[in-house]
Structure 1
Amino acid sequence: MSEARDSLEIEMVENPAADLLRVLFDYKELMPADIASLREGRSDAVLVGRLEQQLRRLNTWLDSESVGRAISALTRISSIDLIDANEQGHIRLTYGTTLPYTDEKGRRQDRTVRYFDFDDVGANIFEFARQVAIKGPRQEIVPDIVIYVNGIPLAVIECKSPALADPIGEAQRQFRRYEGRDEFAGLGAPRLFEMAQISIALARDVARYGTTATPPRHWADWRDPWPMTADGLTSRINRTPTPQDILLAGMLAPANLIDLLRNYVIFETLDGRRLKKIARYQQFVAVGRTIERIRNAPRPERRSGVIHHTQGSGKSLTMVYLAIKLRRLPETENPTLVIVTDRTELDSQISGQFQRSGFPNPVQAESGQHLRELLSGGAGTTVLTTVHKFHTAVPKRTSVISEAENIFVMVDEAHRTQYGALAARMRAGLPHAALIAFTGTPIDKKDRSTREVFGDYIHRYLIDQAVKDGATVPIFYEMRDARMRVDGRDLEADIRRSFPELKDDEIQKLKQGARLQEKFAGAQTRVSAICEDILQHYRTAIEPNGFKAQIVTVSRDVAVSYVETLRALGAPECAVIMSASNNDSAKLQRHHLSRRERDKLISRFKRKDDPLKMLVVCDMLLTGFDAPVEQVMYLDAPLREHTLLQAIARVNRTYENKSHGLIVDYWGDNRRISEALDMFSEEDGVLSAMRPASEKYQLLESRHRAAILLFDNIDRSDEDACIALLALEDVRAKFELDFQRFAEAMDMVLPDPRALEEPYLTDLKWLTRIRAAARRLYSDERFDAKLYGAKVGELIAGHLRSDGVEQLLHPLDILDPAFRESVEEIGSPEAKAARIEHAIRHEIHVHREENPSAYKSLWEDLEDLISRRRIDRVSAASQLARLEELADRTMTLRADQKTFELTGTSGAILPLILFGEGLSDKQKHEIVASIALDLEDMAQVVDWQQKEDVKRQMRRTIKEGLRQTGADFSSIEASTAKIMDVARARLAK
């Protein structure tokens, strides 16, 4: 690492982190001499001297021999691997160590040694040390910061310069070396991580955390300093908090750190591997607020509430964490916990989560009578049940099961059945219980019943926030025009023509009784056409990257038709998962499965390398089904509202190299999509998370632009000169990241022909060639195409020697006169609007870096219009008129930049200045040119955008120039901010 990077890492990351710990939370910083005096040697991870002192304070009965045994229990763990050692360490830290004790009367008994005081956080000693050298078997490691509590290392922090292209990736690699795993097996000092619970990577503007052996894709942001507020944190540190500040304040506040250690770490076995998990911030905050409500409620019924955490964000684990906290809460006095679902498969899923997490003795109710017996048996039981068992458990409203107040009922997906008659029975049977509702979709604005039963929201974690945090992937949606699509209005007309003698009510009965929609949907010609399309799409867009598919049909009969047709067409291995009945037809009975067979198929589907690639369903596996390897759902059923939103969330789970989930809708009625989205407030983030497939192409445009930007001002035919631009490691690292993102975007769009448009394919091939040459010249690691998607690797290999690619669609410049002519040639308003929208987007993507403020406003207006049109709030004609206005604004924006023949920075900032009266064109020209020249001079300072003194001088210079315009104070302030945006975009080096 260069001296410059060392300096940035220390000044911008490590020092602020240390200052925050000292000033905000009164951590004591240990100097090297302190560390040397508190441990016996450089191979010790635990500060034995401090631990011995605290053991005697917290356990006054310990003698010297017992103190030595208690320390050895932590420092001499025998294990099969690091995860096993860490799990043993965590058990001892949270539950203590049992040692024999002889009292003053000579009686021997076992007593528990406490390593922490969990009830009085202030009784523990919180310290940190920088650059502590810890000797491993073959190497020495030097973490940037180690957090000690009572001498025990609970958190390890690695700081990285914000100037690095991928600082978090660099920190994660360093943690792998510290832990001695993967490519660093046998190296490092894993002993440190037998005790450490949290691994933190900091780079000021980005900060993430993991725990022992966390894969890179599961490292997470911490975006809430709870219980401190964002404003409170701002006032305490006297500046705008960075993501680094928020993470440290949220995770390392003494009470939070102790709480995380004790209540929010679990170990579970999945696919034969032992994994360690620690809570995400939304889980920690939701549970914390729930405990607050329970503690502070004036009456028992006021303890209830709703936790809305979007699908895929870990609701089941949140339930486990809440259950752990309730078990340890003194006020709840050994509570009874009841976990309620409305699906048998959900009951099994949540039961499995509790059991895998090591939660003690959860019991599944086998019947209503069994449920009543379990809840009547006294405190301390954890019961899992479906809501329907309350039918027989509470046969009438006077059949009270228990009037105890320390009963806590957690209800999953509470918007569905629980607030009806069954909820009334649950309330009647447990009149003083606290009801905590969990839902993955927002409560319908029109629905008041859920809140009447469960109370107000306790915490909300919305779809767009989950995508932003990386807790889920974005979902793209596209609709396909399946042949013989069922159109309700046409069907109605056909029935009336065929049966003119029937009255309206008879026609309705006929339609309902004959299930005509289902019959048309299941017509073999239609099923065959859709299956062929699914196979073509799956084989080219999904299967090459190793992902799997789910197909949702309108009925069990149609599901069987799908699976039989797919097999006849030579599809990858597929199976149908459905309920069974003794009265089923022979066709259905051929596909009946036992519970064990069904579970085996589902387990196989979840494994990436298993050949079972597709599951066909109609009403099963649409809720509570968690298969991260599933990327696409082919939807051929009229799902609506909550059911629709829950179903499509099956594809939003994160997985290695999975950039997005995809819904391909064959049903053909987009009104139900609009209805589902319109059920909720815009604040729920549904509109921004349910993205049209067209956004993939916008992403491709912007990422292409970022990848090629470095070579804008150079002759690209001179490849030696282009390669020379990559000589600096900083530049090469940023180029590598931009290339990967561009390649990933190509991977998302392929095999759609739009990926073959110019200049994407040509530039990808050219960038690949430049990148490979630079790697050979500068001795970087060899290119591994697997990182960027199998399809991209195949594309590059197949086209590297190609003479050219057919140009299927060329985006016209919005200023080109031919653009308006081409629009006028189009007949329908929808097609005209699409052409104008595409051109405006292209203009924004190409030129927005020249003037971020102006183009951002244009972008926001365009997105608002498209969103409103998508949910039918704007007619096609109104949309076209509004788009034409936006096109005129775009032309004006570009034309303004050409006034007075100003170019470059001058041309970009000209439209941002509000000139007073009386200035000539020449004077305006001189003011703008002077400001631009001064900014360009000051931007020669290396990394100026990271230096507050340079930015302060820039702002001062801009304001001095703007005072000559005669503008008022507020206009000058607004223009200054926008001009600084232009400087960051155009003058950053």
Structure 2
Amino acid sequence: MAAITESVIEEATLSWLQSLDYTILSGDQIAPKAPTSERQTYADTILVERLQTALEVINPTIPFAAIEEAIGKITRTDSPNLIENNRRFHKLLTEGVDVEYQRDRRTIYDKVWLVDFTHPENNDWLAVNQLTVIENKNNRRPDVVIFINGLPLAVIELKNPTTETATIQGAFNQLQTYKTDISSLFPYNELFIVSDGTEARVGTLTADWEWFMPWRTIDGDTIAPKKQAELEVLLKGIFAKHRLLDLLRYFITFEVDGDTITKKIAGYHQYHAVNKAIESTVAATAETGDKKVGVIWHTQGSGKSLTMTFYAGKIVRHRALNNPSLVVLTDRNDLDDQLFNTFCASSDLLRQTPTQADNREHLQDLLQVASGGIVFTTIQKFAPEPGQTYPTLSERRNIIFIADEAHRSQYGLNARVVRKPDEEEAYLSYGFAKHLRDGLPNASFIGFTGTPIEATDKNTPAVFGNYIDIYDIQRAVEDEATVKIYYEGRLAKIQLDESERPHIDTEFEEVTETEEQTAKEKLKSKCARLEALVGSERRIAQIAEDIVTHFENRLASIEGKAMIVCMSRRICVDLYNAIIQLRPDWHHEDDDKGANKVVMTGSAADDGKMQPHIRNKRRRKALAKRFKNPANEMKLVIVRDMWLTGFDAPCLHTLYVDKPMRGHGLMQAIARGNRVFKDKPGGLVVDYLGIADQLREALHHYTAGD
């Protein structure tokens, strides 16, 4: 049997690309002074003659002078910053290059397209191995460079799996060296591929190693068997011509956060889910469609918000939808803000800036447009005035409701009879979907959720339809899209009196039998009794001491942050005070200092001990920024409900739970610790209230394969 060497892997790579109808050439064949040279110098990274020829084919009505003008624009760099130049080029690649020229004594404003996205066969497809690039005396040879129309859009770096020091991460490190040594190759780069012949991953120019992800499927319908080479699956899954063009056009985004630009590409689960959703949307919005697009269940931490962004970016440009309007729905203000910020960070992909509805009146104004727009709102803004029906705003069919966490109980079309305990008269209460349908009767609905639809939930399928795509916890962990969650029960560490323990167990079971919102309405007395037991002074002191010891031991072995989830705001504050008694240096009155904070809402009516911890939206946002920054001293946060859904802090590795939770609420909470971050081995859930059975039940239910 022949030994597996890097050259063998390289030959296999070229063979797979050739099977996809790429032309294969070596770097020597196109080198300067070679008989078939396509480069004047080793510093040239664009194959200019191929580019000129391809652009003339793709843009047959554009004069050659205008094509030369377009080439000049893409070869010019406006910034010393590589990622800025890369972002600028991507915009030219996906939106065309603006040019002007004279025809019949008139100035014509037109676009030169660098690739033909509609007809893949009109493009020039080339793979070059061992391409020598020399820049500032640095001589480097990437293993394989993919050129489309002479533009170097992808780089593949390979390592030998039989050499202990030549790892797949070594291939990643090699690419980072190339970015510094031969940076002129990368303003045009869209994809990095690394492989050691066994594993294969795809990433972008700005991605750290932990964000280089596998590609598990070729056709999107079946996951490739483990015996099939990962590199073969990745190359055939990404570099099939129609798929690569689709990926370049709709599934790459540049997220802008202040001065930081992060380039992101869809994972295979996101790419195929979005395309299934696009197909379903076209059918649902047609004249004969049922207006139910369906539901995408992608487990928490696997990039659901980004999937929603990619969906929006592609559907707004779909010809069949004729410039649709999108209405993005959440059920909480903080989730509305978080998702809105995610979309705004990708405004290049969306080709527009989304708008956030301030109130009911503003929402109605935004939805009465003739076409277009991306509007963010909480579902509560669709509530009509008491005793009234929500007014009809538009009868267009190209309006799409995009609902985050679509399984929530408030979506429903049917009425139910409600009778308040203190009132004799009953009234009809409708799910919010009724009001949405009243306002926009021909709109279609798509739902995104991080947790599955309950078997007893009839509302969600009635409003949204059936599953479009499922990506559950098990697959996310296998793909390293999320990390594993580990459990540690520390109930035994808290020495309760025997007389107290059975009461806590009983109250806990009753409170967690129903959803938290129902518990607030129907189980207030039981919650109050449990809160008194859980929040006793002696118990809080014990938990504070145990958390401090446990967390300091965690920090000694792995750098990161922790969140404590308490049952009430009163317990949050009391626990904070108990921790500060043990570690006074963790406290600071200023928001921008201190290691420990409570994050909660409140009002002027709250008692004095609460007031130091009540902050407005702007101040809470500043705390979130501190907590998300791995280098910031803020290491520990105490919450009741805030930051348990939609809050993304990858450096968070420990969740201390001292609150009755079950079902999707529990899964949402523990998912705060499942984000990928550097060498984080997993997230840890530390249980002080005995949620093991609830966690086991939720994990079983939330894995599609079970």
The TM-score, its normalising length taken from structure 1, stands at 0.63
Instruction: Select which of 327, 333, 336 maps to 2:325.
Output: 336
Task: Check whether the contact 2:357–2:363 (CA below 8 A) recurs between aligned residues.
Answer: yes
Give 1:202's match in structure 2, choosing from 170, 175, 195.
195
Evaluate the alpha carbon distance shift between residue 682 and residue 82 of structure 1 in structure 2; reply closer, same or farther with a 3 A threshold.
closer
User: How many angstroms apart in 2 are the aligned matches of 1:471 and 1:669?
Assistant: 25
Partner residue, 1:530: 543
Matched, 1:430 2:440: yes
Aligned letter for 1:566?
I
1:26 aligns with 2:21: yes
Partners of 1:461 and 1:394 in 2: CA distance: 41
Q: Does 1:541 align with 2:528?
A: no
Contact 2:654 2:673 in 1 (8 A): yes
Give the 3 Å change call, closer, same or farther, for CA 563–398 of structure 1 in structure 2: closer
Provide the rounded CA distance (Å) in 2 between the counterparts of 1:619 and 1:665.
17
Cα deviation, 1:529-559, whole Å, max 9, x if unaligned, reads: 0000000001111355321111110001111
In the alignment, what sits opposite 1:655? 677
Q: Does 2:139 correspond to 1:140?
A: yes
Deviation at 1:428, TM superposition (A): 2.8
Gaps of 5+ in 2: 413-430, 508-520, 587-594
Q: Which runs of structure 2 are paired with 1:699-848 in the superposition (5 Å)?
A: none
Corresponding residue for residue 956 of structure 1 = none
Q: Secondary structure at the match of 2:672?
A: helix
How much has 1:656 moved relative to structure 2?
A: 1.7
RMSD in angstroms over aligned alpha carbons? 2.5
Q: For residues 367 and 510 of structure 1, what CA distance do their matches in structure 2 show?
A: 32
Q: State the one-letter code of the partner of 1:59.
A: N
Match of 1:267 in 2: 254
Matched, 1:311 2:300: yes
2:673 and 2:684 in contact (8 A); partners too: yes
The 1:355–1:59 alpha-carbon spacing in structure 2 relative to 1, beyond 3 Å, is same
Length-normalised TM-score, structure 2: 0.87
Following superposition, the deviation at residue 160 of structure 1 comes to 1.8
Query: Within 2, Cα distance between the matches of 1:529 and 1:201?
Result: 50
Give distance in 2, aligned partners of 1:176 and 1:362: 35
Specify the code of the residue in structure 2 equivalent to 1:562.
Answer: L
Secondary structure of residue in 1 paired with 2:442: coil
Does the Cα contact within 8 Å between 1:363 and 1:384 map onto a contact in 2? yes
Residue of structure 2 equivalent to 1:583: 605
Residue number in structure 1 paired with 2:13 = 17
Superposition pairs of residues 231-242 of structure 1, within 5 angstroms: 241-242=228-229
Give the match for residue 573 of structure 2.
560
Report the equivalent of 1:82.
Answer: 82
Q: Determine the structure 2 residue equivalent to 1:471.
A: 481
Q: Using the alignment, how far apart are the partners of 1:50 and 1:126 within structure 2?
A: 10
AA partner of residue 673 (structure 2): V
Contact 1:145–1:156, Cα closer than 8 Å, also in 2: yes
Pairing 1:592-631 to 2, within 5 Å after superposition: 592-631=614-653
Residues in 2 aligned to 1:94 and 1:492: alpha-carbon distance in whole angstroms: 59
Any residues of structure 2 matched to 1:949-988 within 5 Å, and which? none
Q: 2:45 maps to what in 1?
A: 45
Q: Distance in 2 between matches of 1:288 and 1:608?
A: 35
Q: 2:180 aligned with 1:191, yes or no?
A: no
1-side partners of 2:175 and 2:505: how far apart? Answer: 65
Q: Which amino acid aligns with 1:578?
A: M
Aligned to 2:403: 411
What displacement does 1:378 show? Answer: 1.7
The answer (yes or no) to whether the contact 1:556–1:618 under 8 Å persists in 2 is yes
Percent of pairs identical after alignment? Answer: 36
Conserved? CA contact 1:300–1:432, under 8 Å: no
Task: Look up the equivalent residue of 1:520 and give its one-letter code.
Answer: L
1:16-42 per-position Cα deviation (integer Å, ceiling 9, x unaligned):
22122212x211223543565333322
Which residue of structure 1 aligns with residue 655 of structure 2? 633
The CA deviation string for residues 44-85 of structure 1, in whole angstroms up to 9 with x for no partner, is 111111110111122223333322221122222231221111
- Looking at structure 2, the residues matched to 395 and 603 of structure 1 have their Cα atoms a distance apart, in angstroms, of 42
Cα shift at 1:418: 4.3
- Give yes or no for contact 1:340–1:412 (8 Å, CA) kept in 2: yes
Distance 1:491 1:295, change over 3 A: closer
> Which residue of structure 1 lines up, in the alignment, with residue 514 of structure 2?
none
Corresponding residue of 1:933: none
Counterpart code for 1:351: F
Q: 1:597 to 1:640 in 2, by over 3 A?
A: same
Say yes or no: does 1:456 pair with 2:466.
yes
- Structure 1: distance between partners of 2:505 and 2:690: 17
Matched residue, 2:510: none
C-alpha distance in 1 between matches for 2:405 and 2:281: 21
1:257 to 237, 244, 247: 244
Cα distance between partner residues in 2 of 1:57 and 1:394: 63
How far off is 1:515 after superposition?
1.0
Correspondence 1:512 to 2:532? no
Q: Which residue of 2 aligns with 1:912?
A: none
Query: Per-residue displacement from partner, 1:776-829 (whole Å, max 9, x unpaired)?
Result: xxxxxxxxxxxxxxxxxxxxxxxxxxxxxxxxxxxxxxxxxxxxxxxxxxxxxx
Q: Which runs of 4+ in 1 moved over 6 A?
A: 485-488, 491-494, 508-511
Q: Which residue of 2 aligns with 1:805?
A: none
Higher mean C-alpha deviation, range 304-313 or range 38-47: 38-47
Asked whether the 8 Å contact 2:145–2:156 carries over to 1, the reply is yes
Bigger Rg, which one: 1
Which of 359, 368, 379 pairs up with 1:387?
379
Distance 1:492 1:149, change over 3 A: closer
Following superposition, the deviation at residue 283 of structure 1 comes to 0.8
Instruction: Kindly indicate whether the alpha-carbon contact (under 8 Å) linking 1:394 and 1:401 is maintained by their aligned counterparts in 2.
Output: no
| Paired letter, 1:268 | E
Give SS of 1:376's match. Answer: coil
Aligned to 2:513: none
Q: Secondary structure at the match of 2:316?
A: helix
AA of the residue aligned to 2:266? A
Q: Which residue of 1 aligns with 2:592?
A: none
Q: CA shift at 1:303, angstroms?
A: 4.8
Which stretch of structure 1 is more off in the superposition, 547-556 or 150-159? Answer: 150-159
- What is the CA deviation profile of residues 231-258 of structure 1, one whole-angstrom value per residue up to 9, with x for unaligned ones? 8xx9xxxx96311111111111111111
Q: Distance in 2 between matches of 1:291 and 1:487?
A: 55
Maintained 8 Å contact 2:393/2:439: yes
C-alpha separation between the residues in 1 aligned to 2:678 and 2:60? Answer: 50
Cα drift, residue 466 of structure 1: 1.0
CA distance in 2, matches of 1:272, 1:529: 44
2:335 aligned with 1:346: yes
Q: Does 1:161 align with 2:160?
A: yes
Matched positions, count: 651
Alpha-carbon distance, 1:441 to partner: 1.1
1:816-965 mapped onto 2 (5 Å cutoff): none
Name the aligned partner's letter for residue 206 of structure 1: E
**Amino acid in the other structure paired with 1:354:** F
Q: Which has the higher contact order (CA 8 A, sep 6+)?
A: 2
CA distance in 1, matches of 2:192, 2:524: 61
* SS of equivalent residue, structure 1 residue 109: strand
CA contact (8 A) 1:306 1:438 kept: yes
The 1:346–1:16 alpha-carbon spacing in structure 2 relative to 1, beyond 3 Å, is same
Call closer, same or farther: CA 1:512–1:58 in 2, change over 3 Å. Answer: same
Q: Please state if 1:121 is matched with 2:109.
A: no
**Larger deviation, residues 380-389 vs 410-419:** 410-419
Shift of 1:488: 7.6
Cα distance, 1:393–1:404 mapped onto 2, change above 3 Å? farther
